[in-house]
Amino acid sequence: MYKKIITCLLLCWVFTLPAYGQEQGIESLRNTSKAFASVARKVSPSVVFIQVESSRASPSIQQFSMPFGQRRPFDDELLKRFFGGQLPGFQPPTEQNIPQPRQQMMGQGSGFVFKIDSGLLSKKTYILTNNHVVDHADKIRIKFQNGKEYDAKVTGTDPKSDVAVIEIKTNDIPALSIGDSSKLDVGEWVVAIGSPFGLSHTLTVGVVSAKGRTAIGINDYENFIQTDAAINPGNSGGPLVNLDGKVIGMNTAIFSRSGGSMGIGFAIPINLAKTIANQLIDKGEVVRGHLGVVIQPLTADLAKSFGIKQEGILIAQVTEDSPAQKAGLKQGDIIITYQGRKVESIGTFRNQVALTPPDTKTELTILRDGKRKILDVKIGKQDKNMEVASGPAQSSDELGMTVQTITPQLAEQFNIKPETGIVVTEVQPYSIATAAGIKTGSIILQANRKTVKNTAEFKRIIKDSNTSKSVVLLVLDDNYQRYIVLNWK
């Protein structure tokens, strides 16, 4: 009798398990839904829809710098900024850039209340957005979720990071809580809020797909958060927040074939945006640190040729009379750490230097001739018009180029100094030289770390390299030097 009762109870328990599990799953989804709704209620009142009027000539064709050569990244896809209507820098390519007459342009984007100044003599609300949203604006009008509208003016802009701050005359709007983007993990839930296609205060949900995206070719200074939260034209400048409603990024760009979301969006980390915005508010401009080196990735081929393991980044050139030169940095040094932090990519290193206040004394760990060395360097001040440069490193499988000793005639033809190396006068199609980016007019300064002043020296070094079938070249192009490894195995 007892056995029958126990069996009946067990069967009842087994058959109720699926129903119980299903109910638990539904309840979990309800809780997740409520979390997103809570974020929307908390954040939306401080998010703004931005309308911009601008009277100027239509923008000329502007190509992003392409880290993979002339082709755009992601198989020639177009990285589009979110500026609804007219997109700065995104006109369809034409063979000639024909000037257009000045015309009234309308644009739109998003932003969010970042900081409030409520001192005795001030009553301002500062709004963070993208530079490309308000660039060349004649009139800026913003609208809050409650329907209140204000005219805004630009506090400051920074095209190099695509960060801008605008302000309105009120302080009765709450500022959003700012999170710490350095603590963000891949896989975390994030929420994007903005005005895609002019649809004010739209919320989309996704996860952090990746962090530290650099070399995208959008801004001079990049360290993007990648997310699959659906963001579209008009989302530019809107906040990317975590489930606590704290801002961890500012939506900036998308990767798209159609102009709409394809699940790849990029946001500026709030730690970077906040630093830039505070300088714009306090000083009206951004002051960046300057080291004075041209850097390039330390590829596996280069590391092998230097006889070291692959870590850090390579100094391809040291600017004369720069902080780097004064500190004793040399061409060919490998930068391992900066301020005690490991250097893993060009983009992050460039950002670290730029965010270091001028006159700050900092420490660099380098690798020179296989030996580690610590150098103290006093960071300088970056000139406003200074270009951000780094030399890309490439390698290939096949050799083919013609070189000549630099004669006075060749020096005049290629606008170079005599006896500064040898000049490349011809490059064969589909050769290792072509694939490595060597072109007609490139100057070869060194081969296997030895200075070359004529073709005889160069050919002798190449002959000596036939055993390894590999040579390291120091090449000068467009005033920038870079190391290249050529393999002809």
Q: For residue range 110-155, list pLDDT tens digits in order.
A: 999 998 887 666 788 999 999 999 988 889 999 999 889 999 999 9
**Is 132 among the catalytic positions?**
yes
- Same CATH topology for 289-381 and 401-487: the answer is yes
Closest by CA position to 135, among listed 160, 102, 101, 115: 160
With a cut of 60, say whether residue 102 has pLDDT above it.
no
* pLDDT, position 477: 84
Q: Which one from 46, 54, 110, 132 is the annotated catalytic residue? A: 132
* pLDDT, position 389: 47
* pLDDT, position 336: 93
Domain spans in the chain, listed from the N-terminal domain onward: 32-57+73-85+103-286, 289-381, 401-487
With a cut of 70, say whether residue 261 has pLDDT above it.
no
With a cut of 70, say whether residue 5 has pLDDT above it.
no
CA distances from 450 to 109, 116, 444 (A): 54, 59, 11
- Dihedral angle of Cα 327, 286, 249, 54, to the nearest 10 degrees: -140
* pLDDT, position 16: 56
Which tokens in the block code for residue 340? 């005690």
Mean pLDDT along residues 368-386: 87
Q: DSSP class of residue 413? A: H
* pLDDT, position 392: 35
* pLDDT, position 76: 40
* pLDDT, position 91: 44
- CB of 81 closer than 8 Å to CB of 253: yes
* pLDDT, position 295: 83
Q: Of residues 180 and 416, which shows the higher confidence score?
A: 180
- Percent of the chain with pLDDT strictly greater than 70: 77
> Which residues have a Cβ under 8 Å from the Cβ of 127 and sit 6 or more positions away?
48, 111, 112, 113, 114, 142, 152, 165, 166, 167, 168
Coil, strand, or helix at residue 131?
helix
* pLDDT, position 391: 39
| Separation between Cα atoms, residue 210 and residue 73, nearest integer Å | 16
Closest by CA position to 185, among listed 212, 161, 216: 212
| Amino acid, single-letter form, for residue 276 | I
Coil, strand, or helix at residue 463?
helix
Which tokens in the block code for residue 221? 């200074």
Q: Of residues 362 and 71, which shows the higher confidence score?
A: 362
Report the CATH fold assignment for 32-57+73-85+103-286.
Thrombin, subunit H (2.40.10)
Q: Any long-range contacts for 219-222 (C-beta under 8 Å, 24+ apart)?
A: 219/160, 219/161, 219/162, 220/159, 220/160, 220/161, 220/388, 221/160, 221/161, 221/272, 221/347, 221/350, 221/351, 221/354, 221/388, 222/347, 222/351
* pLDDT, position 335: 94
Q: Of residues 29 and 226, which shows the higher confidence score?
A: 226
77 pLDDT band, cuts 50/70/90, is: very low
CATH assignment, 401-487: 2.30.42.10
Distance separating the N- and C-terminal Cα atoms of the chain: 84
Q: Which one from 135, 162, 228, 301 is the annotated catalytic residue? A: 162
Mean pLDDT along residues 12-22: 56
pTM for the whole structure: 0.66
pLDDT averaged over the chain? 78
Closest by CA position to 86, among listed 65, 63, 113, 104: 104
Question: Is residue 271 left, alpha or beta, with left meaning phi > 0 and alpha meaning psi from -120 to 50?
Answer: alpha
337 pLDDT band, cuts 50/70/90, is: very high
* pLDDT, position 366: 92
- CB of 395 closer than 8 Å to CB of 431: no
With a cut of 50, say whether residue 56 has pLDDT above it.
yes
- CB of 150 closer than 8 Å to CB of 142: yes
- CB of 197 closer than 8 Å to CB of 232: yes
| Separation between Cα atoms, residue 96 and residue 60, nearest integer Å | 10
- CB of 349 closer than 8 Å to CB of 337: no
250 pLDDT band, cuts 50/70/90, is: very high
- 446-469 tens-digit pLDDT: 888 888 877 778 888 887 887 778
Q: What is the DSSP code string of 272-331? A: HHHHHHHHHHHHSS---EE--EEEEE--HHHHHHHTS-S-SEEEEEE-TTSHHHHHT--T
Q: Of residues 247 and 216, which shows the higher confidence score?
A: 247
- Read off φ and ψ for residue 366, nearest 5 degrees: -125, 165
Q: Which one from 200, 236, 256, 305 is the annotated catalytic residue? A: 236
Mean pLDDT along residues 252-258: 73
Give me the helices (H) in 334-436, please: 346-354, 408-414, 432-435
Which tokens in the block code for residue 58? 């239509």
**Is 162 among the catalytic positions?**
yes
| Separation between Cα atoms, residue 135 and residue 138, nearest integer Å | 9
| Separation between Cα atoms, residue 394 and residue 455, nearest integer Å | 23
- 191-214 tens-digit pLDDT: 999 888 777 788 888 999 998 887
Secondary structure, 3-state, 42-104: HHHHHEEEEEEEEEEECCCCCCCCCCCCCCCHHHHCEEEECCCCCCCCCCCCCCCCCCCCEEE
Mean pLDDT along residues 12-23: 57
* pLDDT, position 28: 72
**Is 65 among the catalytic positions?**
no
297 pLDDT band, cuts 50/70/90, is: confident
DSSP helix, strand, coil percent of the chain (3-state; round to 5): 25, 35, 40
CATH assignment, 289-381: 2.30.42.10
Give the HSE-up count for residue 369: Cα atoms under 13 Å, Cβ half-sphere: 3
